[in-house]
Amino acid sequence: MDILKAVFDISPFCWTELFSAMTAGAIVGLERQISGKPIGIRTSILICISTYVFATFADFNHEPAIDLRLIGQIITGIGFLGAGVILARDGIVIGVTSAACIWILASIGITIGIGHHASGIKLSVLAVIILRGVDTAEKRIKTLRKGLHERYSK
């Protein structure tokens, strides 16, 4: 029994929160993968888990100044990751929504990491509703498509 306890002990992490981060990432990732976008299930889960881990370490110190600095560094790092998926190809800027998904996934991981795992799941569902809802609206309402994926010129 002690061996099993030692194997499955992931302190300072919590299995419930870890599974919440995995679920939240999978919810958004599944939508992106079904839509054929570059940020899929694997990447989404890994972003949520990694930001959950960093936020848990920040919260583990119980020092607000250190907590905020660590979360600030997470945000900076995620910003670079998001910038890496934005491309300009043939005058068309692509990847902005994928970059925004990286931001929301990171914020969901942080939310779960500071102990609000139900809110993290709800945020991921809200993100999918926004992604699917706006996509559907753009397809059905012609005026919403105006400017979408047009050539970018200075």
Note down pLDDT in tens along the chain; length 154 residues.
677 777 777 777 788 999 999 999 999 999 999 999 988 999 999 999 999 998 887 766 667 666 778 888 888 888 888 888 888 777 788 888 999 999 999 999 999 998 899 999 999 999 999 999 998 888 888 777 766 555 544 4
Please state, in angstroms and as integers, the Cα–Cα distance from residue 54 to each residue in 46, 135, 141, following that order.
12, 32, 41
Contact 28, 44 (CB under 8 A): yes
Q: Which residues contact 92 (CB under 8 A, 6 or more apart)?
A: 149, 150, 151, 152
pLDDT at 74: 85
Q: For the chain, how many helices (H) and strands (E)?
A: 6, 2
- C-alpha dihedral over 54, 59, 62, 64, to 10 degrees? 80
pLDDT at 147: 63
DSSP assigned state of 116: -
DSSP, collapsed to helix, strand or coil, labels residue 87 as: strand
Match 């959950």 to its residue by tokens: 52
pLDDT at 150: 53
Q: How far apart are CA 94 and CA 105, in angstroms?
A: 19
Q: How far apart are CA 154 and CA 132, in angstroms?
A: 31
Q: Which two tokens stand for residue 109?
A: 């991981």
Q: 88 pairs with which residues across the strands?
A: 93
Q: Which helix (H) or strand (E) holds 92?
A: strand 92-94
